Structure 1
Amino acid sequence: METPLILLVLANFAFVALHFLMSHPLRVPMVSLLGEMGFQIVYSAVIIATLAGVYFAFIQSPEADLSGTGQVGWAIASVITIPAMVLFTGSLIGNPAMASPGAEKNARAAPKGVFTITRHPMMWSFALWALAHIVLHWSWRTTITATAVGVLALVGSRLQDRKKRELMGEAWMQWEANTSFWPKLRGFAKAGALPWSAGLILFVFLTWLHMPIGGIPAGIWRWF
């Protein structure tokens, strides 16, 4: 493996590992030492620094060194990305996993919208985004980074369940009992007009943005 790709693997590993460590086993001692605000500052700084490391290692790695899956792969990736955008936009409203004053109240409410699909719609949106890029089989740099994002999303959501049970107690356990970790496809019919509309708009915009930023047409822009 070439040196830039080795650095990319290390950068992605640091990004994922430090995210897990600071979000879970190190969070309590760091908050005790630094206070909640100090912890947030250090946490944000470390995540931004490691994400920057991923970015610089990514752009220095070969752009396309795999055979790719052709137009079929692009079509599959596009289909996978649409529900990812629906899950992401829907996750921004009434999400008990987010740190907000109404989190416990949301956890005690009956699941609706994208939460009828999974209790971790944002995490699954990242996981599906990662899967879409892995399916393309475009380059090692893309596959390495997408795999890291997928691990962060799925392992992170499991760890989040454990942390939320400790922080919210019975309210989160009730939320877990009323929702599913694994996505239920039939739930997309109940996701609601707003997540679908916003998700499709975001899909069109981000796939359009793929060309000026990445130099590669994606989504519907691949064929139009």
Structure 2
Amino acid sequence: MDSATLLLGLGMIAFVGSHLLMSHPLRPALVRQFGPSGFLGVYSLVSLITFSGAVVAFGKAPSGPQLWDGQALVPWVIASLLTLVALALFLASFAGNPALAGTDVSGLSTRLPHGALKVTRHPMMSAFTLWGVSHILVAPSPRSIILAGGVIALAVIGSRGQDAKKAALYGRDWRAWMKRTTFLPNPAAFASLGFYWVAALPVWMLVTWLHLKFALVPAGLWLWLEQL
């Protein structure tokens, strides 16, 4: 393994590990030490430094070998659809999502899931997971697997950690909510995203266009539109 790929792996371990540690076992001590606002500042700074280091290493790591042709029709179409779903889930995750930090969950045991919460109780983390899977599909190289795989690991483990922490904090309310919702996204409930499909499409076109202009790598429909 070359040095840049090794540094990328170490950077993602630091990013994921520090994120999980600060989110769960170290959080009470850090909040006592720095206060709520100071904790958010430390949390954000550590996450920014570790992820930025990983991104720099990613740029220096070799782009191959590729395990398969990520620009072939099937993986490209699947990945493009996954990123669109991920964006719709991400946008919808800000509406009445009890998994978000600071959200009031009192009486949650009496609520029925709606919108993105019919798809999964962790729409934001599911969006990050789908983003990671889509990027591995279209760029199945060691560096992409390490970077995107780290994001997937953080989203999945972080979601499990959220469930455990909120079940401990809110007891019956959160356990009842877990029974009414699913951990993994339920494709049969995608229609529940409603308006967010309409909102996601133009944002998806813009984001994939920016991906081409700034990362110099085509994404989504731009792989073919640029050739017209």
Name the TM tier (shorter chain).
over 0.9
| 1:58-69 alignment runs, 5 A limit | 58-66=58-66, 68-69=69-70
| 1:101-180 alignment runs, 5 A limit | 101-104=103-106, 108-180=110-182
| Cα deviation 1:177-208 (Å, max 9, x = unaligned) | 2111111111102222x211122222211111
Q: CA RMSD in A?
A: 1.8
Q: TM-score, normalised by structure 2?
A: 0.91
| Cα deviation 1:146-171 (Å, max 9, x = unaligned) | 00001011111011111112233332
- Matched AA of 2:201: L
Q: Which among 87, 108, 124 is matched to residue 89 of structure 2?
A: 87
Counterpart check, 1:206 vs 2:169:
no
CA offset at residue 3 of structure 1?
0.4
Distance 1:144 1:125 in 2: 18
Corresponding residue of 1:187: 189
Runs of 4+ in structure 1 deviating by more than 6 angstroms, as ranges, are none
CA offset at residue 71 of structure 1?
2.1
Corresponding residue of 2:6: 6
Single out whichever of 27-36 and 79-88 deviates more from structure 2. Answer: 27-36
Single out whichever of 181-190 and 26-35 deviates more from structure 2. Answer: 26-35
SS in structure 2 at match of 1:38: helix
Change (3 A) 1:216 1:24: same
Change (3 A) 1:47 1:105: farther
Corresponding residue of 1:54: 54
CA offset at residue 49 of structure 1?
1.1
Q: Note if contact 1:94-1:106 (Cα within 8 Å) is conserved in structure 2.
A: no
Show structure 2 runs of 5+ residues with no match: none
SS in structure 1 at match of 2:72: helix
Q: How many residues align?
A: 223
Corresponding residue of 1:38: 38
Q: Note if contact 1:96-1:107 (Cα within 8 Å) is conserved in structure 2.
A: no
Distance 2:104 2:86 in 1: 25
Single out whichever of 105-114 and 194-203 deviates more from structure 2. Answer: 105-114
Distance 1:211 1:95 in 2: 32
Counterpart check, 1:18 vs 2:7:
no
Distance 1:68 1:156 in 2: 31
Distance 2:5 2:69 in 1: 18
Single out whichever of 210-219 and 58-67 deviates more from structure 2. Answer: 58-67
